[in-house]
Chain A
């Protein structure tokens, strides 16, 4: 079942990986009330599933992520998967010990069923008509993928940001199927300020004339400007004041003002590049969907807004990590989760990692972050291999 090809990659890389596709043929009812006529999920796996099927780890991606979490698709690839810093042989999520599953979520734009897919009812791409998907929908679709892969219970469901939200949803919705949930730079729900940033990003996309009410594919256009602008806004919020100051300062692109052009400061040039490259590889409708899923995430809502009650459902242990300079998903938001977990009598470990890289810290190989993450995962691996007894369950 491993999609990992044998190759002589450098130590720490899973090497060349080949994505696979899972097709669910039955109707899939979404939380919004609409129903998909089946769906496809693209996924990759790294490392072998053990005989007891106890060492599977699910990686949930964030806003702009996909199934390609580690390794390379071709020898000529210059960049590895998006979380190659933490997934691979000997890394925090050690593929010598774990069987790792990474997928592109429903509504995505990297091969899974989403706005660019053909709507069987009309024969045209869904475009803006693709129904709203939620973290709950994602988790249910991921559970169907797990069924398909013969994984009854994950040793861990792991994610950063929106990915951490899915891990939390997993622990609440499928308590018997999650041994541990790893929530990195996460929040139990978005703040008004956070939703506001998402709304500005959405408006940037929808106000681009090329957006064509979301049907840009039919007219063979693309809202490059709007999507690029949305990414620029998002990107600024994922960095920190000090981090940007260190990286760019007030450096001028052309050295001095007399030679100033359209782009004057280094940081402008950087943001424009980020925006442009993003609009080439990402779909605007998917971006709208993903930000909506973020905004709507609130697992406590169906428990009378009581997060403790929501988390009481869980049997998993939790690792909760946050970063000092992350103001989009601040340490205080992680603390709310931790306090609720303690009140719900769940096993929880939490660390606040010193970092100047803002929200993006969760993608970086920061030594202390990787060390805590690796230590937690290694203990789970020991347990999956039967070397240590599971830790004392909460008294609940």
Chain B
């Protein structure tokens, strides 16, 4: 079992209505459908991804996230998920607001640009960092809005949103002790579970 899917599955209630933004090949939704009997939908624009989702029996809708999510009414989902996609959308701040308009809660994961390897890479080589979780050159990367965990948490505060839970893991999705002590230095990927301002406890 892919550990990242397991982490998210633990955060989703059985039978929930789940919207997965940038669902890729549909692994998460297939997993949630099987394990949690969710009523799930995924959005993606990749032709091959869509065909793969169809093959798996995942509800996939061809829709470009950057063209907006106006077609989804307020409160139409229990949970809106976005895994490793936030850094590639045009307006990440607006996207977070949209996710918490459509869903009661959301889960966001993204790669940490503040990881010590990135910092060292930039400091020593003087070039844009590339790593296992950041494999693209600067001119070909879809990641147009890379940030650190600290940057993200500042955005969340500015938007008045609430962090309900946070998991920090390595590029292979395992948690090690140092990451919890110094997440912004030793964590590669973070899973944030976010709620609306003033919403009840998790």
Q: Is B141 an interface residue (CB 8 A)?
A: no
CB distance B39 to A352 under 8 Å? no
CB distance A372 to B61 under 8 Å? no
Tell me the A341-376 residues at the B interface (CB within 8 Å): 342-343, 345, 347-352, 368, 371-372, 375-376
CB distance B59 to A375 under 8 Å? no
Task: Count how many pairs of residues, one from A and one from B, have CB atoms less than 8 Å apart in the complex.
Answer: 55
Segment at the interface with B among A3-11, A138-146, A265-273, A386-394 = A386-394
Which A residues lie within 8 Å of B28 (CB)? none
**Contact code string A306-324 (vs B, CB < 8 Å = 1, else 0):** 0000000000000100000
CB distance B53 to A349 under 8 Å? yes
**Contact code string B26-63 (vs A, CB < 8 Å = 1, else 0):** 00000001000111010000010011011101011110
Chain A minimum-CB-distance residue to B40? A392
CA distance A372 to B51 in the complex (A): 6
CB distance A392 to B39 under 8 Å? yes
Q: Is A280 an interface residue (CB 8 A)?
A: no
CB distance B54 to A395 under 8 Å? no
Which B residues lie within 8 Å of A391 (CB)? 33, 57
**Contact code string B68-82 (vs A, CB < 8 Å = 1, else 0):** 000111001000000
CB distance A351 to B62 under 8 Å? yes
- What number of A residues sit within 8 Å (CB to CB) of B? 25
Q: Is B133 an interface residue (CB 8 A)?
A: no
CB distance A375 to B39 under 8 Å? no
Which B residues lie within 8 Å of A129 (CB)? none
Q: Is B101 an interface residue (CB 8 A)?
A: no
CB distance B76 to A349 under 8 Å? no
CB distance B33 to A394 under 8 Å? no
Interchain CB contact (< 8 A) of B33 among A348, A372, A378, A392: A392
CB distance B61 to A338 under 8 Å? yes
B140 CB to nearest chain A CB (Å): 22
CB distance A375 to B55 under 8 Å? yes
CB distance B60 to A349 under 8 Å? yes
Q: Is B17 an interface residue (CB 8 A)?
A: yes
A209 CB to nearest chain B CB (Å): 49
Give the interface size class of chain B.
Answer: 20 to 34
Q: Is B160 an interface residue (CB 8 A)?
A: no
Chain A minimum-CB-distance residue to B52? A375
Q: Is B3 an interface residue (CB 8 A)?
A: no
Which B residues lie within 8 Å of A335 (CB)? 71
Which A residues lie within 8 Å of B55 (CB)? 375, 378-379
Chain A minimum-CB-distance residue to B34? A392
CA distance A350 to B51 in the complex (A): 10
Q: Is B15 an interface residue (CB 8 A)?
A: yes
CB distance B39 to A394 under 8 Å? yes
Which A residues lie within 8 Å of B62 (CB)? 350-352
Q: Is A147 an interface residue (CB 8 A)?
A: no
CA distance A392 to B41 in the complex (A): 12
CA distance A395 to B15 in the complex (A): 7
Query: Which residue, of B50, B55, B76, has the highest number of chain A Cβ atoms within 10 A?
Result: B50
CB distance A347 to B54 under 8 Å? no
Which A residues lie within 8 Å of B59 (CB)? 347-349
CB distance A342 to B33 under 8 Å? no
CB distance B76 to A372 under 8 Å? no
Which A residues lie within 8 Å of B76 (CB)? 342-343
CB distance B54 to A375 under 8 Å? yes
Q: Is A339 an interface residue (CB 8 A)?
A: yes
CB distance B50 to A372 under 8 Å? yes
Interchain CB contact (< 8 A) of B17 among A345, A350, A368, A376: A345
Chain A minimum-CB-distance residue to B16? A395
CB distance B54 to A372 under 8 Å? yes
CA distance A371 to B53 in the complex (A): 13
A374 CB to nearest chain B CB (Å): 9
CB distance A375 to B51 under 8 Å? yes
Q: Please, could you name 21 A-B residue pairs with CB atoms under 8 Å apart, sorted by A?
A: A335-B71, A342-B61, A342-B72, A343-B73, A345-B39, A347-B59, A349-B54, A349-B61, A350-B60, A350-B62, A351-B50, A372-B51, A375-B51, A375-B55, A376-B54, A378-B55, A379-B57, A388-B57, A391-B57, A392-B39, A394-B39
| Closest A-B pairs by Cβ, 9 of them | A391-B57, A395-B39, A375-B54, A351-B62, A392-B33, A350-B61, A339-B71, A352-B62, A376-B54
Interface residues, chain B, CB within 8 Å of chain A?
A: 15, 17, 33, 37-39, 41, 47, 50-51, 53-55, 57, 59-62, 71-73, 76
14 new A-B contacts, CB < 8 A, other than A349-B61, A350-B61, A391-B57, are A319-B54, A342-B61, A345-B17, A347-B59, A348-B61, A349-B50, A349-B53, A349-B59, A351-B47, A375-B51, A375-B54, A379-B55, A392-B39, A395-B39
